[in-house]
Amino acid sequence: MTEVPTGAPETLDWDKAGGLVPAVVQDARTLRVLMLGYMDRAALEATLSTRRVTFFSRSKGRLWTKGESSGHFLDLVSVDVDCDGDTLLVLAHPHGPTCHLERPSCFPSAPASLLAELSDLVATRAAERPQGSYTTRLFEAGTRRIAQKVGEEGVETALASIAEDDAALAGEAADLLFHLLVLLRARGLGLEDVEARLRERRR
């Protein structure tokens, strides 16, 4: 988990915007922008202490924890301050849709990592095992069979890179990535574990 800078309230220029700073909230897994809210010092301190993203509601005139009515909380992962000290970037794990219209984001076309979304879907399939799902059949076949599929898709991807066109290679690579995500989940791992290892190697 990313460390939250406890000194963030002191590094912000609270006076520039009359005691309120905009806070852009991003999904920590998919990187989709979820919403924009405003925080005063008390809201930020509540967010840091409770690890539930809390804003100052200008319409209610009080602190407001996202999800306090709907149950769709935002679990805090990290807070970052911009270069001017007057805007926050908040990474969080959402519980359900963030938008009051039951959409994942308040911005209908906000982009997200498709691979991260696929990883989340694979995790859901692993937990729920819906009948008729190909992913369910893979999980029920066991890790050995899933590993075999990854091997098959790896060979097909390598062959496509030599003997087929770019569209075929992209298709085989997509099959390989999907089956690899299933294999990781069968071992209790996810895309975030691979990303963490890649970050370690980048240092």
Which residues make beta-bridge pairs with 94? 74
The pLDDT tens digits of the residues spanning 69-82 come to 999 999 999 999 99
Question: Residue 98: its pLDDT value, please?
Answer: 96
Same domain, residue pair 139 and 63: no
| Residue 11: per-residue pLDDT | 75
Q: Evaluate if residue 9 carries a pLDDT over 70.
A: no
Average pLDDT over residues 75-100: 94
Percent of the chain exceeding pLDDT 90 equals 87
In a domain, 108, yes or no: no
pLDDT given for residue 127 in this prediction: 97
For 110-153, the DSSP string reads ----HHHHHHHHHHHHHHH--TT-HHHHHHHH-HHHHHHHHHHH
Residue 16, pLDDT score: 84
Over residues 116-128, mean pLDDT: 96
Q: Which helix (H) or strand (E) holds 105?
A: none
pLDDT value at residue 32: 96
* Residues 197, 122 share a domain: yes
Give the pLDDT score at 15: 86
Higher pLDDT, 6 or 159: 159
| Residues 58 and 119 grouped into a single domain | no
pLDDT digits over 146-169, tens only?
999 999 999 999 999 999 999 999
> Could you tell me the residue range of the domain that residue 191 belongs to?
114-202
Task: Please say whether the beta carbons of 24 and 36 come within 8 A.
Answer: yes
pLDDT interval class at 3 (50, 70, 90)? very low
For residue 3, tell me if it sits in a domain: no
Sorting pLDDT into bands at 50, 70 and 90, what band is 5? low
CA end-to-end distance (rounded Å), the chain: 17
Whether 52 is in a domain gets the answer yes
- The domain total for the chain is 2
Instruction: Write the CA distances from 60 to 41, 55, 57, 64, integer angstroms.
Output: 17, 11, 5, 8
Looking at residue 173, which CATH number applies to its domain? 1.10.287.1080
Tokens found for residue 44: 């930020």
**Do 86 and 39 lie in a common domain?**
yes
Assess whether pLDDT exceeds 50 at residue 6: no
Check residue 191 and give its pLDDT: 95
CA–CA distance, 136 with 145 (Å, rounded to integer): 13
DSSP 8-state secondary structure symbol assigned to residue 100: T
Mean pLDDT calculated for residue range 24-49: 96
pLDDT category at 1 given cuts 50, 70, 90 is very low
Residue 40, in any domain of the structure: yes
Whether 133 is in a domain gets the answer yes
CATH number at residue 16: 3.10.20.810
In a domain, 106, yes or no: no
**Nearest residue to 140 via CA among 150, 119, 125, 121:** 125
Residues 127 and 72 in one domain: no
Whether 124 is in a domain gets the answer yes
**Considering the domain boundaries, does residue 180 fall inside one?**
yes
Q: How confident is the model at residue 23 (pLDDT cuts 50, 70, 90)?
A: very high
Burial 131-157 (b: 16+ CB within 10 A, else e): eeeebeebbeeeeeebbebbeebbebb
